[in-house]
Amino acid sequence: MLSSFSSIIKALFPRIAYSLQAEILKSNRKYLRLLFLFLVPTWAYGQTDTLSLLFVGDVMGHAPQISSAEVSPGLYDYNHCFQFVKKEISEADLAIANLELTLPGKPPYSGYPMFKSPDALAQALWNTGFDVLVTANNHSNDGRKTGVIKTVQTVRKIGFAQTGTFLNKLDKDLFYPLIVYKNDFKLAFLNYTYGTNGVPTDTPTIVNLIDTTLIAQDIQEAKARKPHFIIAVMHWGLEYQLTENKDQRALAIFLLKNGVDLVVGMHPHVVQPVRKEYINGKHNLVAYSLGNFISNQQQPYTDVGLMLQVDLVKTAQDIKAELYNYQTIPTWRYIHKRANQKPKFYVLPLRLLETWKSEFPEINPADLHKMKMNLEAVQKRIGQPK
């Protein structure tokens, strides 16, 4: 009887399976960070729990990416795109990305302006080690109602925790804010977008839009569930602008004052500064834009992204976790072109800077120079003072 009931629940509510588990995601894939344990003796604070989060920016699906991933008619493989960042992604306790495309489940697939990619892209993200996908962005409705539904269903079926778009009101009522349990941490995720490029949201689907009245209510709902940490992932700002605007700053302050602990921004497609804001008696982190993780965009600096690693700490007695360390890892989108073969897209981390020539001996010197210049510019920009 219990087995039959479980089957019914899974069929009606796919996410109930991971919502009811204390460990809803893949097994712990990272060695606990010991630095804090050396600095703060456990006898002073009790048992110390740590959690590493890793955020990346926009995962896009332009037409050249789709073509590149097609290995035979109707068969796609994106795994190679992320092979050089798999170490960082898989070692994080939780890895989070913005899926800025839809997954219709069948052809025709398309790039800009209506992003519709093969399910294989999401599967490759899972294989790389990502755990959470946020899906509220200006391309959420590119496939209209069917696209929203198929995207949500597909990523959940693969195993991702997902939020930002919903099948219907009941779906949102049941599973928003997204609560994730990992390493004795309870996290609440919020996700909103400034708009959907004028494409309406068809009922009964829902796309979370930026509305401060609604957001304030959602934050209160999140706080009522007593998480150790609240994270807001915002799709905001102006495309290709190298610093945040006043609206982003005002909204970030609003979020922090209302109880959000960490704000991570997407959408501008270029990296914007990472800043600390002193709100509610503590320093809070705001990453205004992580840029593109992977895309075919050619505008200046759109080939550089940022992986943001955030380390949290708490003791068994703490009702709130604290951010005790963070680091930024620049990445470069490299398109490897070979004679008589399709170009291949890769995300390359900064740690490979000195070995990329050996990984790709045919690398174009102009590409290598551009990469170095763009990475240097980003490194200077992300740490600039207010």
Q: What percent of the chain has pLDDT over 90?
A: 74
**Cβ 288 vs Cβ 273: under 8 Å:** yes
Distance from CA of residue 264 to its chain's centroid?
Answer: 9
Omega of the bond leading into 177 within 30 degrees of 0 (cis): yes
- What CA–CA distances, in Å, run from 22 to 17, 182, 222? 11, 7, 17
Work out the pLDDT band at 383, boundaries 50, 70, 90. Answer: low
Q: Is the pLDDT of residue 4 over 60?
A: no
* Domain boundaries, given as residue ranges, for the chain: 31-382
- Coil, strand or helix at 99: strand
* The pLDDT of residue 376: 81
- Residue 53 above 50 pLDDT? yes
Task: Tell the residue number behind the tokens 């110390």, with chain if given.
Answer: 48
Taking the alpha carbons at both ends of the chain, their separation in whole angstroms is 61
Mean pLDDT value across residues 65-80? 97
pTM, 2 dp: 0.87
Structure tokens at 32: 């606990």
Q: Is 290 helix (H, G, I), strand (E, B) or coil?
A: strand
On the question of pLDDT at 17 being above 70, the answer is no
Confidence label for 375 from pLDDT (cuts 50, 70 and 90): confident
27: pLDDT strictly greater than 90: no
pLDDT of residue 14: 38
Which helix (H) or strand (E) element contains residue 186?
A: strand 185-193
The angle that helices 144-158 and 119-128 make with each other, rounded to 10 degrees, is 30
pLDDT mean across residues, the chain: 88
Question: What is the structure's pLDDT at 262?
Answer: 98
Distance CA 134, CA 290 (A): 14
Sign of the CA dihedral with 105 first, then 108, 109, and 115 last: negative
Specify whether the CB–CB gap between 74 and 107 falls below 8 A. yes
| Strands lying side by side in the sheet with 229-235 | 178-182, 185-193, 229-235, 262-266, 282-287, 274-279
Q: Is the pLDDT score of 7 beyond 80?
A: no
Whether residue 90 is predicted with pLDDT greater than 80 in this model: the reply is yes
Confidence of residue 33 (pLDDT cuts 50, 70, 90): very low
- The whole-number average pLDDT for the span 55-74 is 97
Phi, psi of 68 (to 5 degrees): -65, -35
Mean pLDDT of 321-329: 94
Name the pairing type of β-strands 292-294 and 48-59: parallel
The predicted structure's pLDDT at residue 121:
98
CB 264 within 8 A of CB 282: no
Q: Is the pLDDT of residue 9 over 50?
A: no
Per the structure block, which two tokens stand in for 230? Answer: 């609240």
DSSP class of 80: G
Which CATH number does the domain 31-382 belong to among 1.10.3470, 1.10.8, 3.10.450, 3.60.21?
Answer: 3.60.21
Q: Is the pLDDT of residue 8 over 70?
A: no
Average pLDDT over residues 68-84: 97
Q: Where is pLDDT greater, at 214 or 48? A: 214
Predicted confidence at residue 46, as pLDDT, reads 59
Report which of residues 37 and 247 the model is more confident about: 247
Q: How confident is the model at residue 378 (pLDDT cuts 50, 70, 90)?
A: confident
User: Please, where are the H alpha helices in the chain?
Assistant: 2-12, 16-19, 35-39, 42-45, 63-69, 86-91, 119-128, 144-158, 169-175, 212-224, 246-257, 356-359, 365-382
Residue 28's pLDDT is: 38
pLDDT at 384 over 90: no
Where are any strands of DSSP class E within 316-377? 322-336, 344-349
How far apart are the C-alpha atoms of 282 and 187, rounded to whole Å? Answer: 19
